[in-house]
């Protein structure tokens, strides 16, 4: 019998590629995204409207997914957004928007599926983090903070739910050729007279270039599927190019001043 997957953020970017990979491999997929309420679809999936920042929308998604397929065997939390800006430039509302979408929504979805999984005595939860959950880069402060939060939360969660037969996996993608500029906004405070403007323009140009030359998002979807087919789910699945793997290693072993001298010029 096919395993039932609930997946958020499935209308674009890595969420879409992951949802379609799951469907191709025979999983029964209930896919949620805001744009699914406006006619957009994902091949092979039951596409349901879902705004992960709205408790009412989450309730509606859960009700419809349960009615269609029953409780989930797997939850995949993909919904996310990014606001580029200097840390000083973010408004409180922008910081909250990123945290609500990238972190609090994952916690909310997890709380909804855990009772079903405990009742079954098994389940799997896949939380999308990022390389930025392990190290920071200039002008992604809000996004990096949200990914650090989900890293720590997921580690704690894994200890707590293991006794119920529930496994947790963090996915830590590097740059991939996917996503939409609608989810890569600029902070309102990044105006032409910002003291960070020149550095911001250089840094975000490098970030855009890295994304354009990033890894194949379909390959990431396939790697998630292969991990889910294993008898035991790995705690972490890092999918990145060799230089980004190396950056994580150097971040952990080098003195901060030396690491900064390596990374800083790259974004300027």
pLDDT confidence of residue 213: 86
The answer to whether 237 touches 174, Cβ cutoff 8 Å, is no
Confidence (pLDDT) at 182: 53
> Three-state SS for 162?
helix
- Indicate the pairing of strand 46-49 with strand 28-33: parallel
Which of 55, 24, 21, 19 is closest to 36 using CA atoms? 19
Assign 163 to helix, strand or coil.
helix
- Identify which of 1, 85, 72 has the alpha carbon closest to the alpha carbon of residue 31: 72
> What is 4-243's CATH superfamily?
NAD(P)-binding Rossmann-like Domain (3.40.50.720)
For residue 11, how far is the Cα from the chain centroid? 13
pLDDT by 10-residue block (mean), the chain, 268 residues: 94 94 97 83 89 97 97 97 96 97 98 98 98 96 98 98 98 83 79 95 93 89 97 95 93 95 89
pLDDT at 180: 52
According to the model, what pLDDT value does residue 8 have?
A: 98
Domain ranges of the chain: 4-243
Residue 199 has φ and ψ, to the nearest 5°, of -65, -35
Give the residue numbers marked as catalytic.
Answer: 11, 129, 143, 147
Backbone dihedral region for residue 26 (phi beyond 0: left; psi -120 to 50: alpha; all else: beta): left
The size of the chain, in residues, is 268
Residue 69 DSSP class: H
């Amino acid at each position: 019998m096919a395993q039932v997957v609930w997946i958020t953020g499935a209308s674009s970017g890595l969420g879409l590629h992951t949802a379609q990979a799951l469907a191709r491999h025979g999983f029964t997929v209930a896919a949620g995204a805001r744009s699914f309420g406006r006619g957009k679809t994902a091949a092979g999936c039951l596409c349901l409207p879902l705004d992960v920042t709205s408790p009412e929308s989450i309730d509606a998604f859960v009700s419809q997914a349960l009615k269609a397929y029953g409780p989930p065997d797997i939850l995949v939390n993909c919904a996310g957004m990014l606001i580029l800006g200097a840390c000083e430039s973010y408004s409180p509302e922008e910081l909250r928007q990123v945290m609500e979408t990238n972190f609090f929504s994952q916690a909310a979805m997890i709380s909804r599926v855990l009772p079903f999984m405990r009742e079954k005595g098994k389940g799997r939860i896949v939380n999308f983090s990022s390389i930025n959950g392990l190290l920071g880069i200039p002008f992604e402060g809000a996004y990096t903070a949200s990914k650090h939060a989900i890293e720590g939360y997921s580690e704690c969660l894994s200890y707590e739910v293991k006794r119920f037969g529930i496994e947790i996996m963090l996915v830590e993608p590097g740059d991939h050729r996917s996503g939409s500029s609608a989810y890569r906004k600029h902070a309102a405070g990044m105006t032409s007279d910002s003291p960070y403007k020149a550095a911001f323009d250089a840094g975000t140009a490098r970030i855009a270039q890295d994304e354009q030359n990033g890894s194949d998002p379909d390959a990431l979807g396939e790697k998630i599927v292969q991990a889910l087919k294993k008898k035991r789910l790995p705690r972490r699945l890092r999918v990145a190019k060799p230089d980004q793997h190396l950056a994580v290693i150097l971040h952990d072993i080098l003195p901060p001043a030396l690491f900064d001298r390596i990374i800083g010029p790259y974004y300027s």
